[in-house]
Structure 1
Amino acid sequence: MTDDDGYFGERVAKTYDQSSDAEFQAEIVEQTVDLLAELANGGRALELAIGTGRIALPLARRGVPVHGIDLSRAMVAKLRAKPGGEAIGVSIGDFATTTVDTAADGPFSLAYLVFNTIMNVADQDAQVACFRNVAAHLAPGGCFVVEVMVPELRKIPAGQNIVPFHTGPTGWAYTVYDTVTQDATCHYIDIAEDGRGEAHSTPFRYVWHAELDLMAQLAGLRLRERWESWTREPFTEHSTKHISVWEKSVG
């Protein structure tokens, strides 16, 4: 992660909640919150990359106390401006290393990281550190939930390394993959009404579910469940993403 607001500064924060991605649809948000509230099991939840509160706010309305970690002050400012946003505690910093004081309220029963954000941690060492940081915040028996895509390498023709994922009259976007290092960069070109274009890029590191299981094991967590969706559809070879739940051992 970079310093200051990283890649999610004021420009991104301004329009973030206007996304047409499925994850922003009310039905999907409700399904996400249903499962997270169940896994919290009456305890507190820690959201890594809390952002503008897309998940944290409805989860808090379910009665689950939520604390967040986020690098972007601009995104958190959007959270604070929403009803209930001021009541949610947020620690500003890199979620792979930032610690939250649990002395007063005790450890968390749930930590979660959604919408592919584990891949925004753009190197393997930092991804491992993220799992260890989460484990340090969890109570025994507590869960870490990650929602992330399955790498789209099947879409790459032989001899190429680019996968387009959005095209339209107002812009397009594509990903450039390095299949040796697992590094990748998403490039976005937005076209304004006057025809002028604005380009920006976001680096990430794609990661396989088996690799995440090993990271969890190194942090003292074990895989409990893995599904294709928030409604617990089975994870198969055809799944394009997974919801994985790792549990901290008791004792």
Structure 2
Amino acid sequence: MNAAGSLINQWTSPRRATRLEGMRQEEIWDRDTAQRYDTPGTGMFAPEVLEPAVARLAELADGGRALEFAIGTGRVAVPLSERGVPVSGIELSGPMIEQLRTKAGPERIPVVVGDMSTALVERTFSLVYLVYNTISNLQTQAEQVECFRNAARHLSPGGCFVIELWVPELRQLPPGRSATVWENSPGYIALDTYDTLQQHVVSHHFHFGSGSTAQLFRSPHRYIWPAELDLMGQLAGFTLESRHADWSGAPFTASSRSHVSVYRHDPPRD
């Protein structure tokens, strides 16, 4: 049995919880995680991943200000600001903000500490964006709806809310199993364990070298189908403007593993 198969057997017991019970998001995104988060030039920091996202967001900002929910260490915000887009952020994790501050000061990228579904920034924006699946960090449908409503609060009329999100891979689940391996590469295995009743998933990231031990990082999520995401947008006054499979504009199809969705907000006029 290969390493991926062994890990599936280990993590797919029906009795094994798929949520990190009792852990708050700020405990998961702690100092150790923040210090290991950036991988310059590789993974989500690879130029072919990052540059199309920044280019598309700069286009959607259309000369206005941008607000990033869950700004993290500034993976997107820093290069976006370098393109001349004024960027602000909301972030729950203090250690992630500390890492951001090694790249850009508060005058350049101001950040409000708080939950992206409730925290307020005292200005309006032409663009609010939420990348790399982060809306799924909110663990209930109600919180995810409130995230849309919070985006609406921050947008000027006609502004847009952009979400990058993965498509749940439930079709990949074999009978009797509750996990899928979504990446298996040298030194790294990633798998998701699903609780389909609660619509919860935990992502497990295993990093290892030539020895017999591995380093594990886990994060809990609530997965969202594209149609459910659209309904959340409607509840907050948004209309879906476009949906593509990636930041470069590839068509979104039934086999797409993720999507970039652009929602336009036009509040009712008196």
* Shorter-chain TM-score above 0.5: yes
Inter-partner Cα distance in structure 2 for 1:70 and 1:54: 13
1:163 to 161, 180, 203: 180
Kept in 1: contact 2:40–2:46 (CA 8 A): no
Aligned length: 247
> Which residue number in structure 2 is paired with residue 139 of structure 1?
156
Inter-partner Cα distance in structure 2 for 1:193 and 1:234: 40
* Mapped pair 1:122 → 2:143: no
Q: Aligned letter for 2:221? A: F
Write the deviation string for residues 181-225 of structure 1: whole angstroms up to 9, x where unpaired. 211112234446764444442110110111010000000111111
1:24 to 45, 49, 62: 45
Q: Normalising to structure 2: TM-score of the pair?
A: 0.84
Q: Aligned letter for 1:25? A: A
Structure 2 segments unaligned to the other structure (5+ residues): 1-21
Deviates more, 1:108-117 or 1:84-93: 84-93
Inter-partner Cα distance in structure 2 for 1:203 and 1:4: 9
Paired residues for 1:1-251 under 5 Å: 3=24, 5-18=26-39, 22-83=43-104, 87-102=108-123, 107-167=124-184, 170=187, 172-191=189-208, 195-250=212-267, 251=269
C-alpha distance 171-211 of structure 1, shift in aligned 2 (>3 A): same
Inter-partner Cα distance in structure 2 for 1:218 and 1:203: 25
Inter-partner Cα distance in structure 1 for 2:57 and 2:86: 12
C-alpha distance 12-21 of structure 1, shift in aligned 2 (>3 A): same
Instruction: Please provide the CA RMSD for this pair.
Output: 2.2
Kept in 1: contact 2:69–2:116 (CA 8 A): yes
Kept in 2: contact 1:67–1:90 (CA 8 A): yes
C-alpha distance 101-226 of structure 1, shift in aligned 2 (>3 A): same
Inter-partner Cα distance in structure 1 for 2:220 and 2:250: 30
TM-superposed deviation, 1:30: 1.4
Write the deviation string for residues 152-197 of structure 1: whole angstroms up to 9, x where unpaired. 1111012211112344664533211011221111223444676444
Query: What's the % identity of the aligned pairs?
Result: 46
Structure 1 segments unaligned to the other structure (5+ residues): none
Q: Aligned letter for 1:46? A: L
TM-superposed deviation, 1:124: 0.7
Kept in 2: contact 1:79–1:85 (CA 8 A): no
Inter-partner Cα distance in structure 1 for 2:186 and 2:88: 39
TM-superposed deviation, 1:46: 0.4
Kept in 2: contact 1:96–1:130 (CA 8 A): yes
Inter-partner Cα distance in structure 1 for 2:209 and 2:48: 30
C-alpha distance 72-236 of structure 1, shift in aligned 2 (>3 A): same
| Residue aligned with 1:97, SS | coil
Q: Aligned letter for 1:76? A: I
Write the deviation string for residues 14-69 of structure 1: whole angstroms up to 9, x where unpaired. 11112776432113211111111111111100001111111101111111100001
Kept in 1: contact 2:41–2:47 (CA 8 A): no
